[in-house]
Amino acid sequence: MNDFENTLKQQPIRSVPAGWRRDILNAAEEAARPRWQEWLWPAPAAWVAVAACWLIVFGLQLAARPSDGPSAGLNAVAVSERLAALDEQRRLVAELTGSESAEPRADSPVKPVPMSEMIRKTMEVQHA
């Protein structure tokens, strides 16, 4: 052994002051706590309740899903009713606009207009 070790052996062992011990143990406890616990710490019961609600919502959604596939809720009657409503809308639009059909005719396709032309026409309408 060297002189330093002999000197240490002769020193009396003292206990750590109570305040220091408490601070050291608290710091060690905080370092050992996972980060997600710090994030949830202000109200852990509230976060557990929110998670439980989400699980219930997902469970109910899975239970309410039709079992025959994605098109189980869309039957032929609903499709025909929607098509009839769409045809009625097209007829009303054609009636209001005074045209024969609400859809563009095949012999007169819509031609793209340059952006500068659209801006010019918009400016003319605003200043008129």
91: Cβ–Cβ under 8 A, 6 or more apart, which residues? 102
> Residue 128's pLDDT is what?
66
Indicate the Cα dihedral angle 73, 78, 83, 88, nearest 10°: -140
- Average pLDDT in the chain: 80
Q: Is the pTM of this model over 0.85?
A: no
> Residue 68's pLDDT is what?
61
Rg of the chain's alpha carbons, rounded to an integer?
Answer: 39
Boundaries of every domain in the chain: 3-64
Residues 91, 92, 98, 102, CA torsion sign: negative
Tokens of 102: 């609400």
103: Cβ–Cβ under 8 A, 6 or more apart, which residues? 90
Tokens of 7: 């000197």
pLDDT tens digits for range 5-64: 999 889 998 888 888 888 988 888 878 777 777 777 778 888 899 999 999 999 999 888
